[in-house]
Amino acid sequence: MTMTTTQTTGEVTYLEAISQALDEEMMRDERVFLMGEDIGQYGGAFRITEGFLDKYGEWRILDTPLAESGFVGAAIGAAMMGLRPVVEMQFADFISCAFDQITEVAAKNHYRWGAAVPMVIRAPFGGGVHGGPFHSECPEGWFFHSPGLKLVAPSTPYDAKGLLKAAIRDPNPVIYFEHKFLYRRIKATLPTDDFIVPIGKADVKRPGSDISVITYGAMVHLALEAAQLLTKEGIDLEVLDLRTLVPLDKEAIFATVHKTSKAIVLHEDNKTGGIGAEISALLAEECFDSLDGPIMRIAAPDTPVPFSTPLEEFFLPKTADIVTAARTLAAY
């Protein structure tokens, strides 16, 4: 994965934006507390909660036993009793240990008997960091299919901060997919005032007229890079960053395709049965008359995420894949 980075002082990284959101929400609302492995004295595997223990104490920065199902279940119970837990998965991959609590308890609770579960699960996801099959996954597809959960996946420091604040203030279980590759690679200057990015709203990261690239997470930056390269060839990409995966901003998806008549759906998750498949189906159902070419999907192949550098590079979608697909579509 390659990426344009900016290194301006005074700006905050994607990681710092997450940390700021947690800190500000904890100051704003005493019901907010954090749970997870090694988040206290150690400050979390990625140091997002560094210094939090001294500021908030060991109950609001709660180091848990190594038991994801147990602490996600506990977060559900605390949420029902009026607290606002934010749970940290050390890596999104480990979320599978808590699958049952998330899909059977948290997701169905309000539907079944009307008890809201306002909690956030932070899930550091994605590849490009030599993590191998157990530290690189994109597990959002599993939860995309589970009614009752909201899923967000920010691509910029601004969205990272605003979406995390919105997630903490939402009365539903929200899984917050933060991309590890972006942690220290992108920076931005953020407003000093309190702000949120509403859940359920996609964002056009680059307006264009020829082809829509519908994507989220780290792939947004690949799409922007491809768009830059293609300007030389006179192909004008529009990049739609979904930001929220559930509930999907269908209006924005249809609007961009009505505008450009061509769509590339791009994600880092495995191709089959992924979120791209759903978006493609929606476009076929709702935008058939507007389409001037086939819907194209770019995604990782249907394998686990491999470790060795050439294997992982092969596995991950690349800027060149987008350029090639765009050239093909431009010919229609």
Partner 1 sequence: MDLADVNSEIKRADLLHMYSYLRLTRALEDRITALYRQGRIVGGCYTSHGMEAIAVGYASALERDDVIAPFHRDMGAFLIRGITPGEILAQYLGKRTGPTKGKDGNVHMGDLKRGIIGFVSHLADNLPVATGAALAFKMRGESRIVFTGTGDGGTSRGDFHEAMNFAAVRKLPVVIFCNNNQYAYSTPIRYQMAISDVVDRAKAYGMPGEIVDGNDVAAVYLASKRAIKKARAGEGPTFLEFKTMRMHGHSEHDPAKYVPRELLEEWKTRDPILIAERLLVQLGYGDETYFHEVGERAKKEVEAGLEFAEKSPLPEGPEALEGVFATEGPDGCANADQSRSAA
Of 169 and 259, the one with the shorter C-beta distance to partner 1 is 169
The answer to whether 135 is a known catalytic residue is yes
Longest Cα–Cα distance of the chain, Å, equals 61
Of 28 and 130, the one with the shorter C-beta distance to partner 1 is 28
d(CA 329, CA 332): 6
Of 83 and 291, the one with the shorter C-beta distance to partner 1 is 83
Least separation in angstroms between residue 193's CB and partner 1 is 11
Bridge partners, 35 (sequence order): 62, 87
Of 173 and 276, the one with the shorter C-beta distance to partner 1 is 173
Binding to partner 1 by residue 29, rule CB under 8 A? yes
String of contacts with partner 1 for each residue 109-148, x by CB under 8 A: xxxxxxxxxx----------------------------xx
| Single residue of 6, 10, 82, 309 touching partner 1 by CB under 8 A | 82
Binding to partner 1 by residue 151, rule CB under 8 A? no
Least separation in angstroms between residue 172's CB and partner 1 is 5
d(CA 241, CA 205): 6
Q: Which two tokens stand for residue 37?
A: 């492995």
Helix ranges, 181-230 (H): 219-230
Q: Which two tokens stand for residue 85?
A: 């837990």
d(CA 140, CA 152): 9
String of contacts with partner 1 for each residue 5-24, x by CB under 8 A: --------------------
Of 131, 125, 129, 133, the closest CA to residue 151 belongs to 125
Contacts of 288 (CB under 8 A, 6+ apart): none
d(CA 322, CA 9): 32
| Single residue of 54, 100, 251, 313 touching partner 1 by CB under 8 A | 100
d(CA 258, CA 260): 6
Binding to partner 1 by residue 51, rule CB under 8 A? no
* Contacting residues toward partner 1, per CB under 8 A: 28-29, 33, 59-60, 62, 64-65, 67, 69-83, 85, 100-101, 104-105, 108-118, 147-148, 150, 169, 171-172, 194, 196, 247
Q: What residues act catalytically? A: 135
